[in-house]
Structure formats: C-alpha cells, structure tokens
Amino acid sequence: MDGRQPASLGLGQVRSLQGVKILRLYPPPVREVFAIYNDLDLPPTANREGARPYVIINTVSSVDGRTAMGGKAAGLGSGIDRQTMRTLRSRADAVMIGAGTLRAERLTLGLDETDVPQPLAIIVTGTGDVPLEEHLMVEGGQEVLILLSDAAPNRVVERLLTLAPVMRVPADSTGAVDLEKALVALEAERGVESLVVEGGPGLNHALISLNLVDELFVTVAPALLGGSPDQTLTLLRGPTLPARDRPTLDLVSIHLSGDELFLRYSLARTPSHAS
C-alpha cells in the first residue's frame, strides 16, 4: 500500500508470525488477525456426511490471472501466502496435485513443523510419469500415495510401487483417473474427509467441471506478469465451462496483508442447473 494506507486500527500488538499486519476486511468489522484462516475447520460441521472428501482448491494468481511462469508458481506469493498455504494443509487430511505440477518444479506438500501429523501427499497421474525422487521433498513421517488410472499398464504400476504406495482407480472415458470415483475411494479406503488441491490447472478444471470442489482459496498477488499461454498458466486449463457446469461463487471472506489479497469463495451449482 502507499501513502493512502490508513492508520493502524489500534488493536495493539496483533501481528502475524512474520511481523506483517494482516487485516480481515470481510465480513465486517475489519480487524487485525494473527494469521489467515487460523480458525478454519475442515470439513465444516455441516458437511461431514458426504461420500467424498470436502475439497478445496488453493492457488495464487497475479492480477492478470497468471498462476505460474515457466510452469513454476514459486515466487508469486509472499511469505504470508506461504504461511497461509501451510495453514490450509494443516487443516486437511490430504494434499493433492497433478503429476504435471510435480514435473514442473521441486516442491513439498507438507508442513514446516516436524512434530505434527502431516497430511497425506497425493499425486494424480494417468501415465505414471511421476518424478517423486527428484521433485517431491517429503517431510518427516509424511505418507505419499499415487493415484493411478486403471488404464495404465502393469509395468508402470510395478515401477511406481518401488517409489510409493499406489491406488488404482477406474479410468474415465479418456483413460485419465475418474476423479469422482477416486475421491470416494480416498474417503472409504484412506479416511480422507478433507482435501486441499494445489493444481495444476488441468486438475483444477477437471474437478470443477465434475462439480467436485466445495471452496476456492485464491491469493491475488499484487503483480502483472504477462506471458504467452505456453509460458504461463492460469487457474483453469481446459475448454470453456458450459453454463451448466459453471459454479456459482459466493465470497466467504477477504483478508489483506500488504497489497496481497486472500479471497475465499464457496462453490455451488446454481439451483436451476443442479442435478
């Protein structure tokens, strides 16, 4: 923010771990908070009876809608964004990404603390091209699970089993993992009741098309990046969502830290389109 930044709210020493002021702007009244989503409860009490996990997508985007440059999201968000991502992971039973995201960069799907339970790390793949050893940094005690389509040949399964446990799930009509069946299996077989999805945009698009996402958490980084479609990613990669598959977004909350915005939306199909 610039010279127009308002004076402190006068709430004393309410400061985040990183010493940066965080304001919860919405719902009113505005107040300073210690951390974003610190009081989040997943799954929400009203959503504990489903056959599939409660699914949230968490992502960071520039103001011009870029979620990654050169395949990598690293560097787009601030330290507070990183802390917020860890908070969301700590509230969920599992964290899921597509294999393409893992191929793009070296990353962790865990928490910084080593003395707390780690979420299950799930990699979704249709082909089995999963560079686990090179790109996944596994925190102490974190379990990893590869979700593999039934369409993949047995030699792929055998190779992956040397790296991590593999859950075979039915293929959809394209040979990719049937995500609805995969989620139901994750809850039934692994007890996953809440899941954070961290991309990439192909997985995000598939889940939203199938009406499998309950909430979307978007950090809007105060940046303009530009970049051609082959250099950059956006939140969704895939065909234009037909009106019947387009969710209604309700804004649940807004936090502000520096010039970085943290938006939380709940997703629903409009009643006229509900099945």
Candidates 63-71, 79-87, 92-100, 117-125 — which segment interacts with its own copies by CB under 8 A?
63-71
Among 128, 196, 205, 262, binds its own copies (CB under 8 A): 205
Candidates 14-22, 91-99, 159-167, 214-222 — which segment interacts with its own copies by CB under 8 A?
214-222
Size of residue set near its own copies by CB under 8 A: 58
Please state whether the peptide bond connecting residue 27 to the residue before it is cis, i.e. omega within 30 degrees of 0: yes
CB-wise, 102 or 235, nearer to its own copies? Answer: 235
Contact status: 21 vs its own copies (CB under 8 A): no
Name residues contacting its own copies, limited to 255-274 (CB under 8 A).
Answer: 256, 259, 261, 263, 265-267
Contact status: 11 vs its own copies (CB under 8 A): no
Among 238, 272, 273, 275, binds its own copies (CB under 8 A): 238
Contact status: 157 vs its own copies (CB under 8 A): no
Backbone angles phi, psi at 263, to 5 degrees: -105, 135
CB-wise, 132 or 210, nearer to its own copies? Answer: 210
Among 98, 149, 236, 262, binds its own copies (CB under 8 A): 236
Candidates 83-91, 123-131, 145-153, 232-240 — which segment interacts with its own copies by CB under 8 A?
232-240
The structure tokens listed for 146 are: 């590869």
3-state secondary structure of 253: strand
Contact status: 139 vs its own copies (CB under 8 A): no
Contact status: 66 vs its own copies (CB under 8 A): yes
The structure tokens listed for 107 are: 């990353």
CB-wise, 144 or 220, nearer to its own copies? Answer: 220
- For residues 1 and 234, the answer to whether their CB atoms sit within 8 Å is no
Amino acid in the structure at residue 174: T
Q: What element of type H or E holds 184? A: helix 179-190
The structure tokens listed for 41 are: 């409860």
The structure tokens listed for 122 are: 């799930």
Q: Measured between alpha carbons, how far is 41 from 43 in angstroms, rounded to an integer?
A: 6
> What separation in angstroms does the CA of 253 have from each of 78, 102, 195?
19, 30, 20
Among 12, 153, 229, 271, binds its own copies (CB under 8 A): 229
Contact status: 217 vs its own copies (CB under 8 A): no
- For residues 137 and 153, the answer to whether their CB atoms sit within 8 Å is no
- CB under 8 Å to 255, separation ≥6 — which residues? 22, 23, 24, 25, 33, 36, 261, 262
